[in-house]
Each structure stands twice: as structure tokens, then as C-alpha cells.
Amino acid sequence: MAKHALTSWGACPGSFQPAINTLAGILFACTPQAFAQPPANPQLEPVWIGFDDAYGLKTNTSATATEWGIRAAMEEVNTKGGVLNGRPLKLLTTDNKGVSARGKDNFVQLAGTKDLVAVLSGKYSPISVEMLPEAHRLNMPLISVWGSADPITEHDYKPSYSFRVSLKDDWGVEAMMKRLSTKYRVKQACAILPNTSWGRSAEKVIQAKSGAQTTQFTVVRWYNWGDTSLKDHYRACVDARTQGLLFVGNEKEGAILVKEIAAQAQPMRMPVVAHWGAVGGTLHELANEELAMVRMDFIQTFTFINNKRPRAVYLAEWILKNNGLKSTSDIPSPVGAAHAYDTVHLLAKAIELAQTTSPPKIRDALEKLPAFNGAVRHYPKPFTNQRHDALDKSQVLFVKLTPSGQLIPQD
């Protein structure tokens, strides 16, 4: 950890507000006693956190960026004494290669690890949904740090072992619909969705929230993973005279769409509001020349650019220092890094509250966490027994993707 980060806000854990106005208060909060906790003892048994994502997909940047966030938070926690009287946090990772069945098997493997307190799931919503039965069979907390499909936290399992520090389609897709309406003045829109639980989650929101006062979705088209063209789907949108497109997909499908829209005559290139999976990878490399030819906005919940939140600044500096990047705008998949960073801090607090590595007790403690000031937001109460989603629509922003891969906030 950089020394300046430790002295600037590490001395007063739990608060980043300059609210101590008296000399006595300053002495109480920032005296050497605040630094007296020694680092975690590497000789003690570690407390494990699991993370499963598609490391094996070469175009995917989310797994690596999310791991950066996890490791940054672990280093910070361990530097401040670890958990449970000096035990270090450590990470176990598995590679699902984008395959749901493999992700499910990985979850079971991770859950069998002694002193593992939770499994974090990554970019692919269908994989997180596939893990749900195992999470509840094995009583192991599953925390999505990227997946947005509503069923990840909306299901019939009681008590629920699934949590999320990420966008939720219920309000994320609604924001995408409003973007088409307010920015592009779209009256009739089209949606192109994957035939997966992620696509069905988005379609449910579209059907529920498309009404007389908003953009009407007159065409919904479905594609399958592995399809090599979306041209017929786009043509159906054009033929129906829709003026804008809501797209759900990852970087490979996003690149196909961008290239096929760019190949259209200029009047036929409708604006696109896209889900964030497409910028959780190397879309800018897959469709580099065509990006500038398509009007395309991507939903996000976080940006490092011009972000003054102390933990966001610390995380950005940690990533730059440890990975040879030059600018915060060069950090790929920023939402994954920030969500995971906050999640590890929340887990560390749950471990301390539970005073055990027992997964069921960690689950209970997550519902009782106190306020926490994270990189993404201030969490007044991260989770409750009725709400297992830590973010809300106030975190929504939209970005443009540059040919060099930077995600530039709009508006």
C-alpha cells in the first residue's frame, strides 16, 4: 500500500468525511494508536475468498480487472491487520471460460475449500444464475460483482445466499430505455437480446416499463451465443421503422453489431444504447475502425475519470502502480475493479462481525453490516434481509468507447 494512502484516510477507518472539527477529535482519531494494529500474520491460517470468471476468453478484460480490485482490497485489509486477530485474506480463482456448466462446477470446487467465506461471480449473468442452486445447497454466499440479471437476487430460495454489488437490470435496463427516449428522442425502438437468462431479464424489464409515456419497443429480436451475424435482426428493426436500438451482449456480439451497422448507409445507422458486457472486453480492438461510425452509448455504474472519492482514488493509484498503466482512463473494465474492491471490504467487515469463517454466519452478518464508504458509493446499509443489492439507480452513468479502449463519461 502506498504510504500516503495509509496516512491520508487509513488512520480513520470507516469515515472519509472531514467532520472532526476539534483538536481533541483530531488527536483521538489520528493518534499513533490508530496505526497500532500490526499487519496480518502470514503464518496464521488464511481466510479464503473465491472468484470465478472467464479468464480463458482472450477478448474478455473483466476477469483481470475484477481481480485487481479484489487484490487491492485484500492488500489493504491485510496491511491493517487482516481479520479474526491477524489472519490474512487470500484469493482463490477459477476459470469458467464463459461456460455455465463449468462455472457451476467451479463454484462447488471453491465452496469445498476450508475457511472459504464466499464466492464472487463475474461478468456472465447466466453463470451466476446457474450457480444459485449450488450456493443454496451448500450454504455458501454467492456475491455477483458484475452480473446484472434480476434472478441473481430475485428468486425463491430462503434464506437467500446470493448478494450483488453491481448493476441490476430492473433499474439498469430502465435507464437504457430512458436514454433512448431522452437523448435520441426515440419513439419506437427495437431490442436485440441474447437467448439467455440475461436477455430474458432485460426483456422482462422492457415489457414491464415500455408504456405510453416512454419509448415503445415494437420489435424484440433474439440471437444465440455463437451467432456470426446480427444482420437479419438489425434489418428487422430497420424494416419496422424503429429509430433506436437497445442491445444486450458482450464484446464479440457487440463487434458484430458495430461492423454491420457501420456497413449501412448513413441514414440507416440508428443510435444504440448498449449493456455493459460489450465494454467488459476488447470491443475497441474487434471493431476499431467502425466505432466512430456508430452512435453508441454504454451503461456503467462507475468511472475512475474525474472521480474524487478517496477509495476510488486509492484503487486507481494501486492499479496504475501495480500494472504499469499510465492513466486512470486506461484501466479496462473499471466497474469490475471497483465493485470487487468494495465487496472485499464488505466481506472483511462481515467476517469481523460474525467472528468466524462459517459461511452461514457470514451470510447473516452481510445483512447486518454498518455503513461503509466505498469506491463506488457510500453504503448507508449495504444489505438488509429484504434487499441483497448494494447499488441502485443513482449510480447509473453512460460512457462512450474510444478506439483506444477508453470509456469516457457523457453528460
Domains delineated in the chain: 37-167+306-392 (3.40.50.2300), 170-300 (3.40.50.2300)
Nearest CA to 299 among 188, 204, 391?
A: 391
Give Cα 360 to chain centroid, integer Å: 24
3-state secondary structure of 219: strand
Report how far residue 145's alpha carbon sits from residue 46's, in angstroms, rounded to the nearest whole number.
22
Distance CA 258, CA 22 (A): 57
Per-residue pLDDT tens digits for 75-127 = 999 999 999 999 999 999 999 999 999 999 999 999 999 999 999 999 999 99
Q: For 197-229, write each residue's pLDDT tens digit.
A: 999 999 999 999 887 667 899 999 999 999 999
- C-beta separation of 349 from 364 below 8 A: no
- Quickly state the pLDDT bin for 37 (edges 50, 70, 90): confident
The grid cell for 58 is: 482472450
Confidence of residue 1 (pLDDT cuts 50, 70, 90): very low
Residue 307 has pLDDT above 50, yes or no: yes
Summarised one tens digit per residue, pLDDT across range 140-198 is: 999 999 999 999 999 999 999 999 999 999 999 999 999 999 999 999 999 999 999 99
What is the pLDDT of the chain when averaged over all its residues? 91
Give residue-wise pLDDT tens across range 336-381.
999 999 999 999 999 999 999 999 999 999 999 999 999 999 999 9
Cell of 318: 494501486
**pLDDT grade for 21, boundaries at 50, 70 and 90:** very low
Q: Reading across the β-sheet that carries 407-409, which strands appear in turn?
A: 216-223, 188-194, 244-247, 272-274, 296-300, 397-401, 407-409
Percentage of residues in the chain having pLDDT higher than 70: 91
